[in-house]
Structure 1
Amino acid sequence: MKTTRALALLATALFTTGLADTANAITPVPAAQAPEAVLRLTVAHGTTPTSGTPHVAALDCPPDATTTHPDPVTACRLLDSVNGDLDQLDVNPGVCNDLYDPYTVTAKGVYRGRPLSFQHTYGNQCVLLRTTGAFFDF
């Protein structure tokens, strides 16, 4: 919140002083320094993303101070392993019971400059964790 407020004050100062019109006033962040992924993840116990009280985590890759995911290094590694296509995750294929107790997950944000939007309902928590591993384990 403080960073956002500071940026807003800086932008206001630049535009009111006319400095924003000069070529060197605002320098874009080089692509090498931009994060590879900035995502908002949710896990909800039910058939919709808002069922019950959804758990929410922020995931930045590489992890930074805004990341709230409990295992961001592993989650980023999983995301990279499928090149951002979360439909391709299948971390630990194996047997789960057939009890239907759905969990719905979402991921929204940007991965390597591309928009990323994912939503899926898994039959139960076992299937969710076997399929997505640490990515949605929070």
Structure 2
Amino acid sequence: MRHNRHAIFATIAASTLVFGGLAATSAHAAPAKAESLYAPSALVLTVAQGEDPLTATVQRAVTLTCAPSAEGTHPAPEAACKELESVGGRFTQLARTMPDRMCTRQWNPVVITAHGVWHGKRITFSTTYGNACELAGSMNDSAVYSF
């Protein structure tokens, strides 16, 4: 009986090593996940009260992902992605400095920002407007900052 206990223990120990080794081997042998065919395009867009983008108080913020599909918390991700694609992701092309409407000259600065990745390249953008009227006039008909 004594030999049987040792034999059983040896069998269990050997099985554990063999199956444990197979489990460890199979975990390492698993193929890597396929990379996306699209370069990532994921952004965080903000509208903030203040002059400096680093210290301004964020009033609104959304996420926008354009690749592989348009999605995020942005209310119109398809239109925003299409607009960004039309300017090659250059936010300076969207942010006109002269508003299309008459605004008071009241200094109550508003800053817009974009942080993230556009077609695989890191971007950081910000621009400051004198007040909300100037922002609205400069972004007239822009889907990107319509949130």
The TM-score normalised by the length of structure 2 is 0.66
5+ unaligned residues in a row in structure 1: which ranges? Answer: 1-15
Which amino acid in the other structure matches residue 94 of structure 2?
L
In structure 2, the residue matched to 1:7 is none
In structure 2, the residue matched to 1:96 is 102
Aligned partners of 1:45 and 1:63: how far apart in 2? 28
Same amino acid, percent of matched pairs: 35
In structure 2, the residue matched to 1:74 is 79
Question: Is the CA contact 2:46–2:58 (under 8 Å) kept in the aligned structure 1?
Answer: no
- How far the C-alpha of 1:52 sits from its partner, in A, is 3.2
Counterparts in 2 of 1:19 and 1:118: CA distance versus 1, 3 Å: farther
- How far the C-alpha of 1:54 sits from its partner, in A, is 3.0
- How far the C-alpha of 1:27 sits from its partner, in A, is 2.4
Aligned partners of 1:120 and 1:58: how far apart in 2? 18
In structure 2, the residue matched to 1:136 is 145
In structure 2, the residue matched to 1:55 is 60
- How far the C-alpha of 1:58 sits from its partner, in A, is 0.4
5+ unaligned residues in a row in structure 2: which ranges? Answer: 1-22
| CA deviation map 1:43-66 (0-9, x unaligned) | 1022133433431110011323xx
In structure 1, the residue matched to 2:43 is 39
* Mapped pair 1:105 → 2:139: no
- How far the C-alpha of 1:28 sits from its partner, in A, is 2.5
Aligned partners of 2:35 and 2:101: how far apart in 1? 46
Which amino acid in the other structure matches residue 51 of structure 1?
A
- How far the C-alpha of 1:130 sits from its partner, in A, is 3.0
> Larger Rg: 1 or 2?
2
Aligned partners of 2:99 and 2:56: how far apart in 1? 26
Which amino acid in the other structure matches residue 93 of structure 2?
Q
- How far the C-alpha of 1:20 sits from its partner, in A, is 5.5
Aligned partners of 2:70 and 2:46: how far apart in 1? 17
State the aligned residue count. Answer: 118
Counterparts in 2 of 1:128 and 1:57: CA distance versus 1, 3 Å: same
| CA deviation map 1:87-125 (0-9, x unaligned) | 111579512313322111111111111111101111222
Counterparts in 2 of 1:75 and 1:96: CA distance versus 1, 3 Å: farther
SS at match of 2:143: helix
